[in-house]
Amino acid sequence: MSEADFLPQETIRALRDGREPQPEDIARFIAGLTDGRVGEGQAAAFAMAVFFRGLSREGRVALTRAMTESGRVLAWDLPGPVLDKHSTGGVGDCISLALAPAVAACGGYVPMISGRGLGHTGGTLDKLDSIPGYVSQPGLDAFRKTVREAGCAIIGQTADLAPADRRLYAIRDVTATVESIDLITASILSKKLAAGLDGLVMDVKTGSGAFMPDLAGARALAQSIVNVAEGAGLPTRALITDMNEPLAPVAGNAREVAFIIAYLKGAHADSRFHTVNCALGGAMLALGGLASDTSEGEAMIARAIASGAAAERFARMVAALGGPADLVEHPETHLTAAPVMRDVTAPRAGYIARIATREIGLAVVALGGGRVQPGDEIDHRVGVDALAGCGAKVDAGTILARVHARDEETARAACARILAAFTIADMQPGPAALVADRIGG
């Protein structure tokens, strides 16, 4: 079939009817998505058909390769390994902002191409956009320069890198097609393959705040990503980590940046966040040959945080990409506060037995901290902090969360939603395993 004879609807029809298109048809569809021959409605139909019918391993590889080849693929010449980490998303998952500079401080180079929020989850780029002046989509020259000089750069997809994914990513967010293993695999790996990595570590979330809430689904996604990545020549490991409660005790863009700065400065010791950060970083350093094994790598990440070396790399990255040079020293000067703050308190004494984590994320979206439509503007000020964790003992009136809102009306709605997300019981639940499984290697 020539390009002139290509009909996008026939690819959609094949998927809809359970007949997987040939790799070349998938490639033509993605090329059309990139150059405009495939319309937004057709892209939405494609995503929905894949969501319901699925793809084989060969189909996932074909989709991933087509999305990677829709733009430029980078090559690096650096004195250390080029490494990255990617999370499938969750609530309060701001680890990228701490992990990239920590790995850089240990000798790795991290060209992290991240995305915006999807559904109830926060997006790394939305968090960075709360920093005044930070250019989250710089040109490739600035991206390369920052990686070389700071050791890390966290940016969004430029027009050159996996442009087909950028378009499909926004459509998935508003068409309820986010939770597809096929689409998640292709979206993640197209960006990572385009970044020219030497190694990738995946953080696949499972639990009430994850796109894959059950462990079996999380394992299937992790295995898919590892298999497709290894098939494409990218060494990859996956950790399955807990998202039955927010990873950090905070959710919302500027609020999470403030938390990260406090964490890097040693002013906010959250053991849950720190444990997962070190586990992911340790795996990255071992994969890149900078540590003999993951245990040594975890210790190296912990030292990079404790010594302030990671904070220095973070500050260097922010300044190189247009942000304030004194953000780490004076975050309160640059991160705008919301005008309304209200506490959510426990109605009775007991223990926090469960948290409907997805509801916390949706409360932040409703506050204005996420998108309902692709073009929606985000209010970076809003969010939630002081979140209590599972297993915590509370009394009547104990603060479960603090809401940061733009007005009283949205604050009241968020407080009600967040209160309903907490289940308080008489018995203390057992601790959850933060790292449920490791895949690859």
| Catalytic residue numbers, as ranges | 84-87, 124, 172, 187, 191-192
Using CA atoms, how far apart are residues 92 and 34, in angstroms rounded to an integer? 32
* DSSP code of residue 109: B
Using CA atoms, how far apart are residues 150 and 166, in angstroms rounded to an integer? 26
For the chain, the C-alpha Rg in angstroms (whole number) is 21
Strand partners, 236: 200
Using CA atoms, how far apart are residues 199 and 283, in angstroms rounded to an integer? 10
Q: Which residues contact 436 (CB under 8 A, 6 or more apart)?
A: 206, 215, 218, 240, 241, 242
Q: Which two tokens stand for residue 20?
A: 């997987």
Strands 393-394 and 435-439: unpaired
Q: Residue 337: left if φ>0, alpha if ψ -120 to 50, beta else—which one? A: beta
Q: Please, are residues 83 and 200 in contact by the beta-carbon 8 Å criterion?
A: yes
Q: Please, are residues 198 and 81 in contact by the beta-carbon 8 Å criterion?
A: yes
